[in-house]
Amino acid sequence: MKLLLHSCCAPCASASVEQLLDGGNTVELFYYMPSIFSLEEYEKRLDSLQILSKHFQIPLHAGRYEHEAWLSFIQGLETEKEGGARCFRCYEFLLRASQQKAQELGFNQFSTTLTISPYKNAEKIRTIGLQCNGFAFFDFKQNNGYRRSIELSKALGLYRQKFCACEFSK
């Protein structure tokens, strides 16, 4: 399978990419996380993804930091708890943009690293993703994916943030 992998950050991408490459897939990274609070934080995560891209020797496409558009999309859900309705709307924003980017770059399929986090709802990601053409579902937290992401992050010196991304999670 040749796919574009939506990547929220380098630690989550690390073990996800490893699993996909081990499975014989061809992967390119798409960093797109406009939900991140502050451009500085967005760039810090981008720097670590560049390290990862070099390590695995796979291309990295960086999306725009469209935080205002993301805020408009989740408007009215700001005070929802993490893991609730705001996050589901956020998944939709990220996955729709990833579908569009995959089409633009000529990929028939795309997936996301979001499922590796134990704090994310993989079933909800599957449901929302399957509404997008070309979505391939992988639950990267299976087979100790999350633990492996911590090991790889330490080994490669990747920046591991202490909050999901948006100002509401911070």
Closest distance to ligand SF4 from the beta carbon of 47 (Å): 19
Cα(100)–Cα(152) distance, rounded to whole angstroms?
Answer: 30
Cα(163)–Cα(170) distance, rounded to whole angstroms?
Answer: 6
Closest distance to ligand SF4 from the beta carbon of 168 (Å): 6
- Cβ proximity of 28 and 58 under 8 Å: yes
For ligand SF4, the closer CB: 60 or 74: 74
Cα(77)–Cα(86) distance, rounded to whole angstroms?
Answer: 5
166 binds ligand SF4 (CB under 6 A): yes
42 binds ligand SF4 (CB under 6 A): no
- Segment lying near ligand SF4 (by CB under 6 A), choices 40-48, 53-61, 82-90, 144-152: 82-90
The two tokens of residue 102 are: 């995959």
Closest distance to ligand SF4 from the beta carbon of 115 (Å): 12
97 binds ligand SF4 (CB under 6 A): no
CB atoms under 10 Å from CB of 16, counted, come to 28
35 binds ligand SF4 (CB under 6 A): yes
Distances in whole angstroms, Cα of residue 86 to Cα of each of 50, 153, 157? 29, 28, 31
Residues lying near ligand SF4 in the complex (CB under 6 A) are found at 35, 82, 86-87, 90, 164-166, 168-169
